[in-house]
Amino acid sequence: MKLRNLFVVVLAMLMVGMASTASAHGPRVRFGVHFGGPVWGPVWGPGWYPSPYYYPPQVIVVPPPQPQIYIEQQQDAAPDSGQQYWYFCKSSQSYYPYVKECPGGWQKILPQPEK
């Protein structure tokens, strides 16, 4: 019995030593039992999957930006107001704003500097 145990331990140590060197160097030989035979044609079952379909990449076209448009606004002409003309009333012989109402109508006069 002791001899048998010693033989098993030595055999296990040899196998461990050979496994490390065999896997690191040289060809590998495997022994085993296989069931079945060669299979030709499509394989049906849980081990077969169809090849995946890959969609082509999506093409994104970005149009170039439109150039900026600058719109220059025209300066509005100053409306006819009391700033450009003086208004004279002939009937009272005076100017607006000193006289608020003129029964004969206002007369536009260009401003003149004082003399």
- C-alpha distances out from residue 73 to 19, 49, 69, 70, 80, Å: 91, 70, 13, 10, 21
Q: pLDDT for 49-72, tens place per residue?
A: 677 888 899 999 999 999 999 888
Q: How confident is the model at residue 34 (pLDDT cuts 50, 70, 90)?
A: low
Q: pLDDT for 14-31, tens place per residue?
A: 787 666 554 555 666 677
pLDDT above 50 (res 100): yes
CA 100 distance to own-chain centroid: 67
User: Which amino acid would we find at residue 79?
Assistant: P
Q: How many CB atoms lie within 10 A of CB 89?
A: 19
pLDDT of residue 82: 42
Q: Of 105, 109, 113, whose CA–CA distance to 84 is shortest?
A: 109
pLDDT of residue 26: 60
Q: Output the average pLDDT for the chain.
A: 77
Contact 91, 104 (CB under 8 A): yes
Q: pLDDT for 67-91, tens place per residue?
A: 999 888 877 655 554 457 888 999 8
